[in-house]
Structure formats: structure tokens, C-alpha cells
Amino acid sequence: MYVEAPVTTVTGSIVRWIPQGPVVVNPGTFADTILTDLGMQRPAHQQSLGGSHGAHSDPISLEALEQIDADWIFIGTLNPEGATALQAARENPLFQQLSAVQNDHVIEVDGTVWTSVGGPLAALQVLDDEESAFGQASGSTAFAVSR
């Protein structure tokens, strides 16, 4: 399997949307490790999240949505209430101003796979989602991924 990733360094955010709003999944978590292995970096302002407190994720307010912006945003929900909240947020001008939104680089993923503990089957799903996302990118190069 080949995962298409842009030639230049790109950034990616992993976000879980809950009824109360967005939660940034911190660096060093399951899906982040896979993104990193494929050469994607987290935005600079996310590098220190989770730092000393070791948390899995950090909630942010709708007013701070710029904190989730990156070249690519992988966003998932865990339940119907979160999905409803995400759909409502998509209408928010602050959401629409994100560069990933404007470039059609927001990929909805299964939140139970991307924002939880993971495992071999979850890793395969994350790779499939990334392959689908990077297939949209122009000027890309293939990275071989062993299964």
C-alpha cells in the first residue's frame, strides 16, 4: 500500500468534536504517532499540548478555533450529539475561516478509531483514511507503508 503525502512538510491536527465543542488530541497519541511516522507534523502551537500534565487531549473554545488549524484536519466524533455539534460548527464563520476548511482539507474520520487507544486494526483504518486524504493532495509523492 502507498500513502500519498505532499512533498513539502505539512501539518495535521487531530480533533475530537464533542457536544461542548472541539478537543485537540495531543501529540504522542496513537493516531499522532502514525501521522508522524508518515512525515506529517503537528502545528507549532500544538507541540507543547499535553506536556507536563500528560493529558490525552485539550478542549478549546469555539473562539479559539484557530488552534486546530493546520494544512490538514482529521476530525471525528464519538456519538450523534458530537456529530450534530460538529455540523452546527461547520456553519460558524470562525470554522469557515480555517485554511484547512478553505482548502477542502478537513477529513471526517471515525472518532473511536482516531482519538482512542488504537491497536492493529485501528492503525490500518488510520492509514486508509490518510491514504484517502493524501490522494486529494496535488504535487504528492508516495511513501511505502507495509501492512
Angle, CA of 91, 96 and 101, to the nearest 5° = 120
Domain chopping of the chain, boundaries:
2-144
Instruction: Say which amino acid occupies 9.
Output: T
Q: What is the spatial distance between Cα 6 and Cα 71, in angstroms, rounded to a whole number?
A: 10
Q: Which residue has the higher pLDDT, 129 or 102?
A: 102
pLDDT surpassing 80 at residue 128: yes
pLDDT digits (tens, 9 = 90+) for 51-96: 445 567 888 899 999 999 999 999 999 999 999 999 999 999 999 9
Average pLDDT over residues 115-140: 76
| CATH placement of domain 2-144 | 3.40.50.1980
Local confidence band at 121 (pLDDT 50, 70, 90 cut-offs): confident
Q: Which residues pair with 11 in a beta bridge?
A: 41
User: Residue 16's pLDDT is what?
Assistant: 94
pLDDT over 70 for what percent of the chain? 82
Q: Which three cell numbers stand for residue 7?
A: 512533498
